[in-house]
Chains A and B, each alone.
Chain A
Amino acid sequence: MDRVFKALADPTRRRLLDRLHARNGQTLGELCAHLDITRQAVSQHLGRLEDANLVATIRRGRERVHYLNPIPIHEIHERWIQKYERQHLNALHDLKKRLEGEHHG
Chain B
Amino acid sequence: MDKPQFVYVTYIATSPEKLWKALIDPAMTTKYWQHVNVSDWKPGSRWEHRGADKERELKLVGKVIESSSPRRLVLTWAFPADEAREDKHTRVTFEIEPIGDVVRLTVTHDRLEPDSKMLDGITKGWPKVLSSLKTMLEVGKPLPKLW
- Residues of A whose CB lies within 8 Å of any CB of B are 24-25, 53, 56, 58, 60, 65, 67, 69-71, 73-75, 78
Query: How many angstroms from the CA of A71 to the CA of B130 in the assembled complex?
Result: 7
How many chain B residues touch A (CB < 8 A): the figure is 18
Q: Is the interface of B mostly helix, strand, loop or mixed?
A: mixed
Tell whether, in the assembled complex, residue A58 and residue B128 are in contact, meaning their CB atoms are under 8 Å apart: no
Contact with B6, one of A24, A53, A75 (Cβ below 8 angstroms): A24
B58 at the interface (CB under 8 A from A): no
> In the complex, what distance in Å separates the CA atom of A64 from the CA atom of B146?
33
User: Which residues on A sit within 8 Å (CB–CB) of B5?
Assistant: 24-25
B136 CB-CB contact with A under 8 Å: no
Please state if A70 and B7 are interface contacts (CB–CB under 8 Å).
no
Chain B minimum-CB-distance residue to A71: B10
Question: What are 29 sample pairs from A and B whose C-beta atoms fall under 8 A apart?
Answer: A24-B6, A25-B4, A25-B5, A53-B9, A53-B10, A56-B8, A56-B9, A58-B4, A58-B7, A58-B108, A60-B1, A65-B3, A67-B4, A67-B6, A69-B8, A70-B8, A70-B127, A71-B9, A71-B10, A71-B127, A71-B130, A71-B131, A73-B127, A74-B127, A74-B128, A75-B131, A75-B134, A78-B131, A78-B143
Residues of chain B lying within 8 A (CB to CB) of residue A53: 9-11
B103-147 CB contact bits vs A (8 Å, 1 = yes)? 000101000000000000000000110110010000000010000
Chain A residues near B1: list those with CB within 8 A. 60
CB-defined contacts of B4 to chain A, threshold 8 Å: 25, 58, 65, 67
CB A32 to nearest CB in B, in angstroms, measures 19
Interface contact B131-A74, CB-CB below 8 Å = yes
Q: List residues of chain A with CB within 8 A of the CB of B134.
A: 75
Residue of A nearest to B143 (CB): A78
A60-B9 contact, Cβ under 8 Å, with A71-B127, A71-B130, A71-B131 = no
Instruction: Provide the residues of chain B in CB contact with A69, threshold 8 Å.
Output: 7-9
The 4 closest A-B pairs by CB, nearest first: A74-B127, A67-B7, A56-B7, A56-B9
Cα A71 to Cα B127 with chains together (Å): 5
